[in-house]
Structure 1
């Protein structure tokens, strides 16, 4: 299972979801899904796929690697 660490990265850097959305031109809903994925999973609404374009935009803007944003945990 993939866990998203975007909320921690944003918190550590003092960046809001809105600021990230504006800077990357990624829809606010997509940013919110990445940040709130654990809560959404309980409702069956978790992120089902990851766009390479979105991942690239986040990494470029946050100056990080995919490993900073995603974590694999065995099911």
Structure 2
């Protein structure tokens, strides 16, 4: 997993050089659809993974729906 992430990072750095320093960002399709700016969309071949924290004050105070969502998120996590 780490090797793939490093390789993907190197590919993105190369793409950045090709864009002559214009920069890049990973955006959700919905964000792109609603932006007023002229944005170039480039496809990616592999899925891009990112870490998102799951924060809660107290697990015991969660609703049943929140507990179910938490279990769903945690069952497929990559460490």
**Range into which the TM-score falls when normalised by the shorter chain:** under 0.3
Q: What TM-score, normalized to structure 1?
A: 0.24
Q: Bigger relative contact order, structure 1 or 2, given CA contacts below 8 A and separation 6+?
A: 1
Higher Cα Rg: structure 1 or 2?
A: 2
| TM-score of the superposed pair, with normalisation by structure 2 | 0.23
Identify the structure with the greater strand proportion.
1
